[in-house]
Structures are given as C-alpha cells and as structure tokens.
C-alpha cells in the first residue's frame, strides 16, 4: 500500500507545477501598452474597390452609399474588429484644389459598441465592415464626384480617419478613387 502512494505522488505534483508556471503578468504599464498597441488598430481604410454609391432597392436612382471599411494594426494586419463610434460624411468634390472637400452634404453616426452592432455590420466572409448609408437623392445634388470621409473614435478617445473620392460612371453608378487621407 505504501509503494502505491509513493509512486503516485510524483504524478500528482507534476500537473500542479505545470499549471503554476504558465501564469505570468505584465506589471509595467508602458510594456503593457506597447504589447496592446501591436493588436489595436493604427489606421482605418475605406476599401475603395467595393465602396460605391448604389441603389439599395435595385432601381436606376442611387439612394445610398455602400461603405466597406477595414482596420489595420501596427503589423499591417487587416481583418480586425473595432469598438467605438464612426462618423461618415459626404462632401461636395472641389476640383483643382489641395483640399477636395467642399460643403458637407450628409452625415451618419454609427455605434460599434455591442455584440448586436458587430453582427449588424461585420462580414465574416470579407473580414471587413459593411455599412449601408442612405442618402436622399432629392437633397444631395447630382454631381460627377463626391468626397466620402470616415472618422473612427476609439474607446480611448483617439481619432483615425480616411477618405476617398466617389466618381460617377456611365449609368449613374459610382466608383471610388483614393485621395489619400491620413490613417
């Protein structure tokens, strides 16, 4: 009986020591912040090939903007979920100017604060956010080009922005072109 106890004792101690060795905490706040910065978004990007003005009811009159947005971390990785709020703005396009944004035509505020918000806008297939921004075709003047600007506000109060120019193609469909916004 005594032999069984002595033989089984080392096996009982091994799982305990393995479990204790796996826990490690970072007590230095600066080191913790550097580690978190690797994963948090450093910029947002309007995904130009997919972002466009379109008709959501499939008639010939565009009634919204389909905005595709992705977040990028410091390592250049995309496909990140973000939490916070977004503000999307549609502006008149000013040609032959360093600042292409003219008068603001529309503004949308979007919250990404709950699991329901994430499910409503996140696409698992593309690993991006898809937003359908409705516009009133009567109040938005018809033009060949517009500027779409997006500002993401993190829970820490930081602001990340991007913008693109939406250009009409034949048949009133719009395609975007990058104008280079700060990321």
| 116-164 confidence digits (pLDDT tens) | 999 999 999 999 999 999 988 777 788 889 999 999 999 889 999 999 9
Report the SS3 class of residue 47: coil
Residue 167 pLDDT level (bands cut at 50, 70, 90): confident
Task: Check pLDDT > 60 for residue 6.
Answer: no
Q: Evaluate whether residue 4 is within a structural domain.
A: no
pTM of the model: 0.75
Number of domains in the chain: 1
CATH number at 134 reads 2.60.40.1930
Partnered with residue 167 across adjacent β-strands are 145, 175
Q: Evaluate whether residue 108 is within a structural domain.
A: yes
How distant, in Å, are the alpha carbons of 5, 31, 116 from that of 74? Answer: 54, 16, 27
Cα–Cα distance measured from residue 164 to residue 112, given in angstroms and rounded to the nearest whole number: 22
* Cα distance between the two ends of the chain: 70
Q: Evaluate whether residue 14 is within a structural domain.
A: no
Q: What's the pLDDT score for residue 174? A: 44
Q: Evaluate whether residue 142 is within a structural domain.
A: yes
Cα–Cα distance measured from residue 180 to residue 27, given in angstroms and rounded to the nearest whole number: 39
| 34-88 confidence digits (pLDDT tens) | 887 788 899 999 999 899 988 888 787 788 899 999 999 999 999 999 999 999 9
Task: Check pLDDT > 70 for residue 91.
Answer: yes
Q: Evaluate whether residue 33 is within a structural domain.
A: no
For residue 46, the enclosing domain spans: 41-178
| 8-22 confidence digits (pLDDT tens) | 445 554 555 555 555
Q: Evaluate whether residue 13 is within a structural domain.
A: no
């Amino acid at each position: 009986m005594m032999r069984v106890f002595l033989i089984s004792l080392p096996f009982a101690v091994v799982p305990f020591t393995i479990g204790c060795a796996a826990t490690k905490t970072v007590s230095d706040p600066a080191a913790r912040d550097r580690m978190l910065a690797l994963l948090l978004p450093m910029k947002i990007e309007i995904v130009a090939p997919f972002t466009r003005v379109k008709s959501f009811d499939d008639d010939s009159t565009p009634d919204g903007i389909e905005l595709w947005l992705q977040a990028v971390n410091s390592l250049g990785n995309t496909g990140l979920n973000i939490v916070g709020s977004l503000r999307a703005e549609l502006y008149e396009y000013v040609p032959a100017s360093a600042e292409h944004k003219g008068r603001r035509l529309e503004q949308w505020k979007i919250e990404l604060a709950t699991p329901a918000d994430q499910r409503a806008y996140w696409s698992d297939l593309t690993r991006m956010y898809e937003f359908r921004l409705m516009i009133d075709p009567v109040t938005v003047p018809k033009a060949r080009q517009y500027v779409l600007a997006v500002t993401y506000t993190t829970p820490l109060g930081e602001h990340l922005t991007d913008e693109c120019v939406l250009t009409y193609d034949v048949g009133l469909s719009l395609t975007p072109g990058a104008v280079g916004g700060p990321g």
